[in-house]
Structure 1
Amino acid sequence: MKTTKKFTAAFAALALVFALGSCANGTNNDENQTGKVELESIERVYSYEYEGDYGLDAIIEADITDPQELINYLVYKLQASYGTKEVEKSLSVKAIRAGCCSITANNAGNAGGKIYGRNYDYPDDTAMVIHTRPDNGYESVSTAYPHFIVETPNWEPSTNLPKELIGYCLIYAPLDGMNEKGFYISILEAGDTEKTVQTSKGKHDIQTTVAVRYLLDKADSVDKALELLKTFNMHSVFGIAYHFAMADTTGKSVVVEYINNEMKVTDTKVVTNHYLTPDSGKLTPDASKNTILRYNSAFGAGEAANWEMTPEQIRDALQAASSGQYHPDGSYITIWSAVYEPNAKKITYYFRENYNKYAEINLGSKK
């Protein structure tokens, strides 16, 4: 393992550059603000890059099972650079119930191959796009939600909470992402409060988000990811149930669920926020629940296209399944929709249900 590391942190305290559209329909109030833009021009969206060794192997060896313990560990690792007392007052792991969506298909666009789409639905707050090039793993782009760890809402870089510190901590809290091999993964709530606490002897402990980081760094396919997951004791963060949507360039697309602490794998092209394992003993939500409505919307879009979908069709499917329409009070929106194209090594982002404006991030690019 290399001991030399290189930081590249690319952040900006961003100004408002466009008026957000309605959460219900995803339209933009400013008709002139459309098309492709730079990521750094979007309100409350930050980017962070790290090249080198960020200590993943040490965290795996530490067998950390509590998210607050993980944050404290990371802050301690950085104490030479940042005043830990002030930082610890401002960093506190918190849970908020969420609803999200994942869809995979064949890419009918110019890039060909496969295509993956992801909605992240939560109360509106800052987002961060993280680009990592680890010394001993695969390059990846992932997306994170700073308010999971920052006490105050709508974090922006400050003296006691600098961009480098928050970005470094969020390396271990990716919520979706794709690596250079075209492996894709996202976390979604599974629908109940069954906490996963595996305790097999001889295995390291790993938390939900750290598992996503580990798989982005180490897995070149769904099969490899499943093999790696079996080597760990999984511990779900926040004491509720999660499942992983995963896909790769071979066309394999699955959901991984933990039921009675057993890992279950089910083939599926669409995942929202209810269990998909057959005969799981879990109740299927009523057809009027928005997890079912969003699932049916995304699945119907795929079926209508015979699962041959352009990036624009994936975007439209994500828009149709977006969260704001189910929360007219604005309590939840789709903070980001991401379209992942492995052949093009490209991720296209739409933020806060504005589907007229987008930003692109490429694997292999450097600032």
Structure 2
Amino acid sequence: MRTPAVAVLSALTLAASVACAPAVAPPTPSSAAPRGLLRQTEDQIARTAASLRRLDDMPLYEMTYHGGYDAEAPLTDAELARKDTGWACSLFHRPGEFGRNFDWDPNPAMVVHARPPDGYASLSLADVSYLFPTGARPDLSAAQDRRRLAHAVLTPFDGMNEKGLAVGLAQTPDAQLPAPTPGRPTVSGVRIIRLMLDRAATVPEAIDLMRRYDLDFTGGPQLHYLIADRAGRSAVVEFGDGRMNVIDDRYLTNITMSGADRAAKLADRRYRLLAEGGDTDAMELLRRVAQHHTRWSIVYDLEDLTAKIVTAQRWERVHDLRLSAGG
């Protein structure tokens, strides 16, 4: 899936790897980086570059993004080439926990730590293949690849922010988006997640934010979303009959949720396993609904702002992550 409005970050001279915010003006030290979708000074570029590391051989990468970015502008090949100077999926929410399997092609992924200048700190996961030509693999020794990887801050497929809000997407069999509203910004199916992580502290705030944007699923699968917060609220958002539908639920797979009764939902094997999971350990529950193409399985702790992630179904190998609210 290559969404045309997938988000972007500014030029990196790095050394070392799948949404209400206005464009953010960079600070004004003398050595500001060239303007693009990323708004970074040279110092912020260097700090972002220094944070890039490879966590495992899926490959799974990690970075801490420093600086601002234009959360509304589309990500283009021209932006990614700027010189220096279907998803399947299973998601669930229960008090204090948000879990998801990302089931898709065997692509590299990245853990992204972000603290936007005017938004909430967040921890998110991105499929970084969408930042590169088809079939290309990131090379951390290449400056241009490191610069491209920084744009992962704009392409979250799931994530959690410092307020305990969590969001994840999944493919839906069908979606009919509302007609565009004149004057309303249009963003991609992943960029809306970045905007929610940056700007929303609760499920109601996230839903209200989504209503202020037109979404564009061109170039990729149709999507729906599970949103949850620290207070225990959750909702599924999907689009049908030309409107945005908000459904009271805490489980999400790849079935159409709008208009579906409980029996229809439970007829889906993965939905049923999630709904009947009871007190099953969260990662074990994700293991039960994993598919042959599950790329990552992550459990976000909405209370202590940590996460555990397993890549490529290597259940014995768990990475511990922590959201840092520091600059």
- TM-score normalised by L of structure 1: 0.71
SS of the residue 1:162 aligns to: helix
Please give the alpha-carbon distance, in whole angstroms, between the structure 1 residues aligned to 2:65 and 2:184. Answer: 28
2:199 is aligned, of 203, 209, 218, to 218
Please give the alpha-carbon distance, in whole angstroms, between the structure 1 residues aligned to 2:93 and 2:266. Answer: 24
**Could you give the per-residue CA deviations for residues 154-196 of structure 1, whole angstroms, max 9, x where no partner exists?**
433353642232222x22211000000011001110123x453
- TM-score normalised by L of structure 2: 0.79
8 Å CA contact 1:197, 1:235 repeated in 2:
no
**Could you give the per-residue CA deviations for residues 48-70 of structure 1, whole angstroms, max 9, x where no partner exists?**
211221222xxx2x5x4xxxxx2
The answer to whether the aligner puts 1:359 opposite 2:327 as a matched pair is: no
SS of the residue 2:169 aligns to: strand
Structure with more helix by fraction: 1
Bigger mean CA deviation after superposition, 120-129 or 156-165: 156-165
**CA positional deviation for 1:200:** 1.3
Please give the alpha-carbon distance, in whole angstroms, between the structure 1 residues aligned to 2:200 and 2:176. Answer: 25
Please give the alpha-carbon distance, in whole angstroms, between the structure 2 residues aligned to 1:345 and 1:224. Answer: 19
1:231 is aligned, of 189, 212, 221, to 212
Please give the alpha-carbon distance, in whole angstroms, between the structure 2 residues aligned to 1:127 and 1:239. Answer: 18
2:129 is aligned, of 147, 159, 164, to 147
8 Å CA contact 1:120, 1:334 repeated in 2:
yes
Please give the alpha-carbon distance, in whole angstroms, between the structure 2 residues aligned to 1:206 and 1:366. Answer: 28
Please give the alpha-carbon distance, in whole angstroms, between the structure 1 residues aligned to 2:78 and 2:115. Answer: 22
Please give the alpha-carbon distance, in whole angstroms, between the structure 1 residues aligned to 2:135 and 2:144. Answer: 11
Aligned twin of 2:13? none
1:296 is aligned, of 254, 272, 296, to 272
8 Å CA contact 2:87, 2:221 repeated in 1:
no
2:65 is aligned, of 22, 26, 50, to 50
**CA positional deviation for 1:279:** 5.9
Please give the alpha-carbon distance, in whole angstroms, between the structure 1 residues aligned to 2:260 and 2:58. Answer: 44
Please give the alpha-carbon distance, in whole angstroms, between the structure 1 residues aligned to 2:211 and 2:265. Answer: 29
SS of the residue 1:226 aligns to: helix
SS of the residue 2:156 aligns to: coil
**CA positional deviation for 1:360:** 1.3
Aligned twin of 1:32? none
Please give the alpha-carbon distance, in whole angstroms, between the structure 2 residues aligned to 1:197 and 1:166. Answer: 32
Please give the alpha-carbon distance, in whole angstroms, between the structure 1 residues aligned to 2:83 and 2:179. Answer: 32
**Could you give the per-residue CA deviations for residues 75-115 of structure 1, whole angstroms, max 9, x where no partner exists?**
36x4344xxxxxxxxxxxxxxx3210101112xxxxxxx11
1:322 is aligned, of 268, 287, 290, to 290
The gaps in structure 2 that reach 5 residues or longer are 1-23, 28-39
1:79 is aligned, of 77, 83, 100, to 83
The answer to whether the aligner puts 1:267 opposite 2:236 as a matched pair is: no
State, as a whole percentage, how many aligned pairs show the same letter: 23
Seen in structure 2, the aligned counterparts of structure 1 residues 74 and 222 have a Cα distance that, compared at 3 Å, is farther
Aligned twin of 1:89? none
Aligned twin of 1:203? 184
RMSD: 2.4
8 Å CA contact 1:99, 1:323 repeated in 2:
no
Please give the alpha-carbon distance, in whole angstroms, between the structure 2 residues aligned to 1:318 and 1:202. Answer: 41
The gaps in structure 1 that reach 5 residues or longer are 15-39, 65-69, 82-96, 107-113, 325-332
Aligned twin of 1:339? 299
SS of the residue 2:163 aligns to: coil
**Greater Rg by CA:** 1
Please give the alpha-carbon distance, in whole angstroms, between the structure 1 residues aligned to 2:295 and 2:25. Answer: 36
Please give the alpha-carbon distance, in whole angstroms, between the structure 2 residues aligned to 1:149 and 1:248. Answer: 29
Please give the alpha-carbon distance, in whole angstroms, between the structure 1 residues aligned to 2:139 and 2:69. Answer: 22
Q: How does 1:98-113 map to 2 (within 5 A)?
A: 98-106=87-95
Seen in structure 2, the aligned counterparts of structure 1 residues 255 and 285 have a Cα distance that, compared at 3 Å, is closer
**CA positional deviation for 1:203:** 1.4
Please give the alpha-carbon distance, in whole angstroms, between the structure 1 residues aligned to 2:283 and 2:312. Answer: 13
AA aligned to 1:164 is R
Aligned twin of 1:135? 117
**CA positional deviation for 1:266:** 0.3
Seen in structure 2, the aligned counterparts of structure 1 residues 179 and 231 have a Cα distance that, compared at 3 Å, is same
Aligned twin of 2:26? 3
**Could you give the per-residue CA deviations for residues 22-58 of structure 1, whole angstroms, max 9, x where no partner exists?**
xxxxxxxxxxxxxxxxxx24541111211221222xx
Seen in structure 2, the aligned counterparts of structure 1 residues 286 and 183 have a Cα distance that, compared at 3 Å, is closer
SS of the residue 1:48 aligns to: strand
AA aligned to 2:138 is W
AA aligned to 1:299 is A
The answer to whether the aligner puts 1:159 opposite 2:174 as a matched pair is: no
SS of the residue 1:46 aligns to: strand
**CA positional deviation for 1:217:** 0.5
**CA positional deviation for 1:219:** 0.5
Please give the alpha-carbon distance, in whole angstroms, between the structure 2 residues aligned to 1:239 and 1:197. Answer: 17
AA aligned to 2:103 is D
Aligned twin of 2:16? none
Seen in structure 2, the aligned counterparts of structure 1 residues 80 and 195 have a Cα distance that, compared at 3 Å, is farther
**Could you give the per-residue CA deviations for residues 287-333 of structure 1, whole angstroms, max 9, x where no partner exists?**
4xxxx2111111111xx33xxx6xxx110110000011xxxxxxxx2
